[in-house]
Amino acid sequence: MKDDRVYLRHIQECIRRIEEDVADGREQFLESHTLQDAVLRNLQTMAESTQRISEDLKETHPDVEWHRIAAFRNVLVHDYLGIDVERIWEIAQRDVPKLKQAVLAILEERNNQSS
């Protein structure tokens, strides 16, 4: 079993890429299939990494909606024809920053425990 920090850092990297891909604003995102595809791919990869985090960590951090993230991953993978890019934009703006803060806090906590 890998250290949860590996997955947390991977989530952090996906978030960085999402932030980069939406940095030029909503109109640019909505007009670019390439940006949309990149954000969708990173959301999917990020959500997959959350599923690999240990149950212990998830139980210790119930403030993160781990089950909602997993359910969202299933939508991205299995219901791709029904994806609304406006909704993806909202998730990138509202939910991704919250997850970023939670992941940063968890990583800091884990790093302090290792010291």
Measured in whole angstroms, the distance separating CA 95 from the mean position of its chain's CA atoms is 8
Q: Is 10 an active-site residue?
A: no
Q: Are 15 and 46 in contact (CB under 8 A)?
A: yes
Q: Are 43 and 14 in contact (CB under 8 A)?
A: yes
Q: Is 78 an active-site residue?
A: yes
Q: What b/e readout covers 53-74, taking b as 16+ CB neighbours within 10 angstroms?
A: beeebeeeeeebebeebeebbe
Q: What is the DSSP code (8-state) at residue 113?
A: H
Name the catalytic one among 41, 52, 67, 78. Answer: 78
- Among 112, 100, 98, which residue's Cα sits nearest to residue 12? 100
Name the catalytic one among 61, 73, 94, 110. Answer: 73
Q: Which residues are catalytic?
A: 73, 78
